[in-house]
Amino acid sequence: MESFKSLFSKKRILITFGTGGVGKTSVSTAIAAKAAIAGKKTIVVTIDPAKRLATALGLNTMTEEPTSLTDDLKQVCSSRNITFNNGELFALMPDARQTFANLVDTLAPSNDIAEKVKKNPIYQILATEFSGANEYMALQKLNEIDKLNEYDLIVLDTPPSRNALSFIHAPKLVSEFFDERFMRWLVLPANKILAEGMKKAFHILEKLTGAGFLNHMFELASLGSIVQDEFVKDVKRVNETLGSADVGYVLVSAPTPETISETKHLAGELKSLGRQLDAVILNRTLSYLTIEENQIGSSPGLTVLKTIQMREARVEKELFSDVYGEEQKPISKRLPELSRDIRSLEDLVYISSALDS
């Protein structure tokens, strides 16, 4: 079975995904720290509304610009007697709205058209509320950083979502807005659109966007048709990135029986899309705590702990024996549960050390 070190040498991008509440953001950062310690120039990118990454790194704020954590990482490694192989660590938390604006600037044929699109009230709603927009902007930022060719490894912590693989479907969802049939519908003569039911809908939408909703809609449709071809090309580039052999996928899960079927489903869905699952990480486990057999009956707490450890072992065995059958199995790792919330780079380095085990 491969190690994360070998994965770092084979992949240019690692994308972590998983359901909410499993510590995916912390795991993503721990992976990035591990790569930097191994000598890679690494950046971790997250679109995290709860700002967990900033909290975990002990930062008050994070911006669109990469924040260097290399000096802090060196100090942590020195204090823990960990060999630091002169890598670099950066973190970035892009703003989805700003990333969307950057995309419009890139695709529009002129600054004037780009500004008109960005000022359109309907665009401003779509930039944050349209289904798939947040996930697509995460992928768009990934593409932006990848094009710079400045990093050995990019770790993308995908946005929280009810569907853990929604980021893969995001390009299709967003591109549907530019679908030719939808554009034709938008620019139909007003007398064909304004049936009684539509009048009520437009009245509600005018409350959201201000007076002149139809004018805004027609304007956005007209401007959208101008950038449509370029946007379709951009979607294709994003999809090509997702399917590249340089991209690895890391599924983060919890060590409980309830997660088995979901994790298998996600692995199967990823496989059906032609993507290889490279690693599965069970986060917040208690298996690292050592209990001697003669201690088990001496304390109710130790008995409960042993029961939990045995349950975790069963989950791991069932999960990794079936995820890919007889084919090449993904890397399997357990990461420890801490007695408190992660709130420093030192905590993340401690967790990253378990990636060696």
Q: What is the pTM of this model?
A: 0.82
pLDDT along the chain (357 residues), means of 10: 84 89 89 96 82 72 84 95 94 83 86 86 70 77 90 90 76 65 51 49 57 60 68 82 91 86 82 86 85 69 82 82 62 85 87 84
| Cα→Cα distances 98→48, 207, 269, 275, Å | 15, 25, 31, 29
Q: Assess if residue 73 is contained within a domain.
A: yes
Q: Assess if residue 185 is contained within a domain.
A: no
Amino acid at 303: T
Q: Assess if residue 237 is contained within a domain.
A: no
Q: Assess if residue 114 is contained within a domain.
A: no
Q: Assess if residue 223 is contained within a domain.
A: no
pLDDT, position 186: 52
DSSP 8-state secondary structure symbol assigned to residue 275: -
Q: How many domains does the chain have?
A: 1
pLDDT, position 328: 62
pLDDT, position 145: 92
Q: Indicate which CATH number applies to the domain containing 337.
A: 3.40.50.300
| Cα→Cα distances 140→96, 212, 216, 320, Å | 9, 31, 26, 32
pLDDT, position 196: 47
d(C-alpha 198, C-alpha 193), whole Å: 7
Q: Assess if residue 325 is contained within a domain.
A: yes
pLDDT, position 41: 98
Q: Assess if residue 251 is contained within a domain.
A: yes
Range of the domain at 288: 4-108+132-171+244-356
| Cα→Cα distances 126→7, 100, 133, 215, 278, Å | 37, 10, 7, 16, 34
Q: What are the backbone dihedrals phi and psi of residue 341, each rounded to the nearest 5 degrees, phi first?
A: -65, 145
Q: Assess if residue 337 is contained within a domain.
A: yes
